[in-house]
Structure 1
Amino acid sequence: MKALLLLTLLTLCHTKPYKPINVMDFMKNNEIMQQDLGDDDDDDDGDDDDYAEYDDNFVSDCPEWCRCSKRVLQCSDQGLTKVPKDIPANTVLIDLQNNDITEIKEDDFKGLVNLYALFLLNNQISKVHPKAFRNMDKLKILHLSYNELTQIPDNLPKGIQSLRLHDNKISRIPKGAFKGMQDLNVLELSANPIANSGIEPGAFDDMATLYLRIAESKLTAVPKDLPSSLTELHLDYNKIGKLEAEDFLRLRSLQRLWLDFNQIKYVENGTFTGTPKIREIHLDNNKLKKVPPGLNTLKYLQVMYLHANSISYVGVNDFCPSRARAKKTLFTRISLFANPVKYWEIQPPTFRCISSRNAVQLGNQRK
């Protein structure tokens, strides 16, 4: 069930430019939300397989310009300049996306202790009161992307599982910004003017997250002290110039890594030693002149994107280990097209550890 939630959240994380979230589809796909809603009623027979059984008794008290049903408040696309008043206390999902709200005040969500998901995307929010999310122990989804925030909101609920701050004006991640957030599955910080100097030492201390995205920013190097819990890391569309051996030493659970569309010219030997579980690496659209060292030691690596670089030579042992049994999973994709390498000079044994001949993309992909 946790895997299903993560998949749902990752789908929502790739919505750029702004694309409205379909709240009803979100509810149908989010089984954990269904489970949490059902926990409030211990006296029923457990038959809660349809949202039609949830309470609709607050519909007549719905705030102006909003629609209320099944403990869901929908107020998107209404030109609202502030959060509606008198939101029913048993609301579990609030949709306020695509309005003109400029500020989240202290009492805007007061008393909404059952709130599970809050969508505030595509407003003009520049200020969030430090106590705006107090007593929201059940809040799991908080999306604040496409706003005017200049800093990460204070006192975020510790139980949040998806936090999206994509496309704001945040340039600084202070120490302890995500302190105690051990349930965080998805943290989206892309399209903010974040430079390495803006990430304070200890910024990611005392937190755990599976998916972190700081793409389309101003990074010139891989940030230090990233959460060791990471399984997926996106640093694409930055200005990173090289990879060093210490960059990923703590990320032993990392499985997927995006570094495409940077300015990487050099990968230090031993860079991927600390990522024994890595399965997918994106290093395409960089300035590499050779295949990164150490790929042949990665037992589970299956997908390697290196196209659109300046690679002119591929060695016979660049991808595959000398001992066949050392490789636990075969490559399903190696892309080398749009490089100056003469593919007809590559020795046949070079790709001895691929799943099929179609796994390798060379030349210009013409048939």
Structure 2
Amino acid sequence: MQTFSVVIVALLSWLVGADVDLCHPRCDCLDTTFYCRRRSLQHFPHDFPNWMQNLNISDNSIGNIDGEDLVKLTGLQILAADGNNLTDIPRPPWNMEQLRELSLSRNALSTLDRGALARFTALQELDVSRNQISVLSNSSSFPTSDSVLRTLNLGHNQIENLDDGCFHDFVNLIELILTRNRIRSLPKDLFSKNIKLEKLDLSRNKLEVLDSLRFQELNSLQVLNLRRNGIRNLSDAAFYGLDRLQHLYLDGNRIQVVERRWLYGLRSLRTMNLSVNNIEKIEDNSWDGMEELHWLQSCRPTWTSAP
């Protein structure tokens, strides 16, 4: 029995040692997760095992990820490559059907490669925030219409122009983050295909006018963040169609008059923030039809609930 125990201990020690040997020398590993952050990597390693599922190579100096190397990682589900020197999204030579999350924040991307994104057929979360993207066009920015993407983070870029159809392929999108860009206007049909969208963040842009019917197809939207833009004028029915909207943030703008004509249709609204504006007048019937509104923050400090 003692001899048998010694054999078992020796076998377990060999297995543990084998697992350690399978880890890349520049990484720390736990099961199928490889943590290679801040390891002074200049290039994407070529010798990762194909059974690896989660890879973090953030905060290195990697300038390129060869699609040929990436497609060999047939088990990879999550890739974080934030804080490198990437100028392009990796383009695998054929579809990767298992990658679900891709994070490329804090790189040097100037555009989004439609062909590259189309290769990630199972991608649900994409973070390309804090890059140098300036234009989103319908013809060259996004994947095909069978995209299953649910979360898209484009915050902290240099986006000024949005083509009408630049989000049309994202029919399954739930959350869209566009904060801290330079967007000055919203095309009429910008969100016409995003009927599943629940959260939209347009805060800290350059919007001054909010035209009518820009959100009319977003009948699943629950949170709309428009704070700190510079909005002066809201057209009639600016929020028409947002039947399920519960939270609206308009603080930090230049709104002078609150009127029912641009608030019309917000029947499910529960909270609204109008603080830090230039409000001079609030029409008496502005809140008509908002039976669910129970918290209102305005320029008047005494208003912390619906009037």
TM-score by length of 1: 0.71
Give the match's secondary structure for 2:102: strand
1:69 aligns with 2:30: yes
Q: Extract unaligned runs of 5+ from structure 2.
A: 1-15
> Can you list the C-alpha shifts for 1:53-74, whole angstroms capped at 9, x where unaligned?
xx99643122221122211111
Residue 143 (structure 2) aligned to one of 170, 175, 178 = 178
User: Does residue 1:167 correspond to 2:113, yes or no?
Assistant: no
What corresponds to 1:145 in structure 2? Answer: 105
**Pairs aligned (count):** 282
5+ residue gaps, structure 1: 1-54, 344-356, 362-367
Aligned to 2:6: none
Render the CA deviation track for 1:84-126: whole Å, top value 9, x for unaligned. 1211111110010111111111223132122110001111111
Residue 337 of structure 1 is matched in structure 2 by: 299
Deviations 1:209-256 (A, max 9, x none): 011011111110124422232111111111101111121122111111
Tell whether the 8 Å contact from 2:150 to 2:174 is kept in structure 1 after alignment: yes
In 2, Cα distance between equivalents of 1:68 and 1:129: 24
Deviation at 1:359, TM superposition (A): 2.7
Please state whether the residue corresponding to 2:224 is helix, strand or coil. Answer: strand
> Once the 2 structures are TM-superposed, how far is the Cα of residue 269 of structure 1 from its aligned partner?
1.3
1:214 maps to which residue? Answer: 178
Distance change >3 Å, CA 195–CA 71, structure 1 → 2: same
- 1:83 shift after superposition: 1.1
* Distance verdict in 2 for CA 1:311–1:131, change over 3 Å: same
Alpha carbons 1:308, 1:338 under 8 Å: kept: no
**Preserved CA contact (<8 Å) 1:260 1:284:** yes
Equivalent residue, structure 1, for 2:8: none
Q: Give the percent of matched residue pairs that are identical in Structure 1 and Structure 2.
A: 26
RMSD, aligned CA:
2.3
Establish whether residue 192 from structure 1 lines up as the match of residue 157 from structure 2.
yes
Query: Retained in 1: the 8 A contact 2:71–2:96?
Result: no
Decide whether aligned partners of structure 1 residues 266 and 56 sit closer, same or farther in structure 2, where only a CA change above 3 A counts.
Answer: farther
1:270 is aligned, of 228, 233, 237, to 237
**Match of 2:166, as an amino acid?**
A
**Residue 192 of structure 1: CA displacement?**
1.1
Say whether 1:314 aligns with 2:282: yes
Partner of 2:42: 81
Given residue 206 of structure 1, which amino acid in structure 2 is its aligned partner?
Answer: D
Alignment of 1:119-134 (within 5 A): 119-131=80-92, 134=94
Does the CA contact (< 8 Å) of 2:259 and 2:282 recur in 1?
Answer: no
8 Å CA contact 2:71, 2:92 repeated in 1: no
Distance 1:77 1:181, change over 3 A: farther
Q: Which runs of 4+ in 1 moved over 6 A?
A: none
| Separation in structure 1 between the aligned mates of residue 81 and residue 207 of structure 2, nearest angstrom | 31
One-letter amino acid of the counterpart of residue 142, structure 1: L
Match of 1:136 in 2: 96
Deviation at 1:338, TM superposition (A): 6.4
Q: 1:245 maps to which residue? A: 212
CA distance change for structure 1 residues 150 and 290 in 2, over 3 Å: closer, same or farther? Answer: same
Tell whether 2:305 aligns with 1:359.
yes
Do the aligned residues in 1 keep the contact of 2:237 with 2:265 (CA within 8 Å)?
A: no
State the one-letter code of the partner of 1:300: S
For residues 239 and 163 of structure 2, the distance between their equivalents in structure 1, rounded to whole angstroms, comes to: 24
Greater shift in the superposed pair: 87-96 or 66-75: 66-75
Q: CA deviation at 1:187?
A: 0.3
Amino acid in structure 2 at the alignment position of 1:235: L
Once residues 203 and 304 of structure 2 are traced to their aligned partners in structure 1, the CA distance between those partners, rounded to angstroms, is 26
Asked if structure 1 preserves the Cα contact closer than 8 Å seen for 2:237 and 2:263, the reply is: no
- Structure of larger gyration radius: 2
Q: 2-side partners of 1:205 and 1:56: how far apart?
A: 50
Higher relative contact order (CA 8 A, sep 6+): 2
Evaluate the alpha carbon distance shift between residue 338 and residue 56 of structure 1 in structure 2; reply closer, same or farther with a 3 A threshold. farther
